[in-house]
Amino acid sequence: MSDVMSDDHDASDMSGGDDGQEDVMTPSELIGKLEEAWLNEKFSPELLENKSERVECVMEQLTHMEDNLQRVRKGDMKASVHRMEIDRIRYVLSSYLRSRLQKIEKFFPHVLEKEKSRAEGDTSFLSPEEFAFAKEYLANTETYLKAVALKHMPPNLQTVDMLKAVPEPCLDSFVFLRVRARQENILVEPETDDQREYVVDLDEGSQHLMRYRTIAPLVSSGAVQLI
């Protein structure tokens, strides 16, 4: 795929500065980073930090791949292969964004509260577009509830605390993960009252089934990959 993915862009053109730094990546590395973000978002019970800059880079790269595809001779076998790769990347990108929107809709008051309570300078969990969507979704939900139910109730029951009414993400759910970098002394909480806390070491390349709450910081840091 290198001829379609790299004709107009070399490695110096790609930067996925999600942490505010310019991380130079090749197009293939950029797509790999998107796939990692997609799997983490798909399998984590909570909404993860947004990767809007990475998404924008992938969309720009797709545009260049489409342009390069137009220069491939008609009837060339490579054209169909390149088209399948473009469609695959579009699917991953769409699925990633869809997963995030589904979580925003499911946990919208908690997502907005988390965004509101973050410290100044911390990375936003929502892109500007997602933040606007979440606020509009909250407003529309409140308007709908008032119109169809709350206005017909006694005055003392005409308000709803959305944070209490909408369930929070279940951070105690279990997830499969692959270790990307060795981790030592990971504290594992007991499953039953007669068990005690214990620590484990996670070897690079090993796979585990663990409570999400335990390894959530490792997902954020990139030390483990959800699978």
At residue 21, the pLDDT reads 46
> Number of C-alpha atoms within 13 angstroms, CB side, residue 122?
11
Q: Please answer whether residues 5 and 60 qualify as being in contact, where contact means their C-beta atoms are separated by less than 8 angstroms.
A: no
67 neighbors 5 (Cβ within 8 angstroms): no
Alpha-carbon 225 to chain mean position: 12
User: For position 18, what pLDDT does the model report?
Assistant: 53
Report yes or no: 145 and 192 within 8 Å, Cβ to Cβ: no
pLDDT value at position 1? 47
Those residues with Cβ within 8 angstroms of residue 29's Cβ, 6 or more apart along the chain or in another chain: 14
159-164 own/partner pairs: CB under 8 Å, 24+ apart: 162/108, 162/109, 162/138, 163/109, 163/110, 163/113
What integer pLDDT is reported at residue 37 of this predicted model? 97
| Alpha-carbon span 197 to 187, nearest angstrom | 7
Residue 31, number of CB atoms within 10 A of its CB: 24
pLDDT in tens, the chain (227 residues): 445 555 444 444 555 555 444 467 888 999 999 999 999 999 999 999 999 999 999 999 999 999 888 887 777 778 888 889 999 999 999 999 999 999 999 999 999 999 999 888 788 899 999 999 999 999 999 999 999 998 999 988 888 999 999 999 999 999 999 999 999 999 887 776 666 778 899 999 999 999 999 999 999 999 999 99
Q: pTM of this prediction? A: 0.84
Dihedral (C-alpha) 156, 161, 167, 169: value to the nearest 10 degrees?
Answer: -170
pLDDT confidence of residue 192: 66
Q: State the pLDDT at residue 140.
A: 96
